[in-house]
Copies of this chain bind each other. A is one copy, B any other.
Amino acid sequence: MSLWFTEKQTDSFGITAKIKQTLHTEQTDFQKLDMYETEEWGNMLVLDDMVMTTKKDEFVYHEMVAHVPLHTHPSPKKILVVGGGDGGVIREVLKHPSVEKAVLVEIDGKVIEYSKKYLPEIAGKLEDPRVEVKVDDGFMHIAQSENEYDVIMVDSTEPVGPAVNLFSKGFYAGISKALKADGIFVAQTDNPWFKADLIHQVYHDVKEIFPITRLYTANIPTYPSGLWTFTMGSKIHDPLKVKEERFQEMETKYYTKELHHAAFALPKFVKDLTE
């Protein structure tokens, strides 16, 4: 029992988790993919030595990416998820009865394949008839879409490797074009303790393109610092003005309608990044 995986979240800090066994390890065309069985978190997907998701805490990220914009939009029908090959965001998206179609564009087919195999609780809804899975470059998919989606979620890795383009201003402009006239977009934008500059940059880039730009947070224990940010750009609908009756009953473990609003109340040092 002396096998440990360590993610250096910075050069001088990290997390370390006891491993029962490696379920799969592979250098894909895009990144190093490891699937570990951990003691504390259950099965864990790791890309380029960074924890992507774990059975035990995955619900936070997936719920908070999906339910905040989907409740903000009055009637989301067509959804795009860029990245997110583990299927967790899709699973949450499908909980919204208004959704007619959810497109997943994941660049690395291996992420999908091994998530289905080892994280069935997360990836289980990828077979749903409303879902279309494309193994393709999200950046290109966005560039080729126009006035098509109600909500776009960017569920990418950190801005290294294949995800670099997904943190550029050009990408956000493309997203705006791909969205309908009242569309909403949200992206995971890392943590404020180690990546304050990135959050500041993305927030202001998005703000130049979207009339309504908001930052919100959630606690994800296996991600650096435990505090994760999401940046939302919206053309019309304001997440802070969602009406009480819009919130639907659905089974969640993290998201609540109270938290929908509270998640936008930022710690002072995070709020400062938006100014």
Contact = CB atoms under 8 A, between A and B. Distances in A.
Interface string A199-241: 0000000000000000001011100111100000000000000
Nearest to A20: B25
A6 B16 contact: yes
Given A225-B219, A268-B254, A271-B256, A12 B40 contact: yes
Interface in A234-260: 252-256, 258-259
A135 interface: no
A139 interface: no
A116 to B, nearest CB: 20
A273 interface: no
Interface stretch (A31-39, A80-88, A164-172): A31-39
Interface string A180-196: 00000000000001000
A140 interface: no
A160 interface: no
Nearest to A267: B254
A18 interface: yes
Nearest to A270: B254
B3 A13 contact: no
Interface residues on A, range: 35 or more
Contact of A268 (B6, B17, B253, B269): B253
A2 interface: yes
Contact of A12 (B7, B32, B38): B38
A261 interface: yes
Contact of A39 (B5, B11, B16, B227): B11
B268 A256 contact: yes
27 contacts: A1-B32, A2-B49, A3-B4, A3-B5, A10-B40, A12-B18, A12-B40, A13-B15, A13-B40, A15-B16, A21-B22, A217-B219, A219-B267, A221-B226, A221-B227, A226-B226, A253-B268, A254-B267, A254-B268, A254-B269, A256-B266, A256-B268, A256-B271, A258-B266, A259-B267, A261-B262, A262-B263
Interface of A: 1-8, 10-22, 25, 32, 34, 36, 38-41, 49, 57, 60, 193, 217, 219-221, 224-227, 252-256, 258-259, 261-269, 271
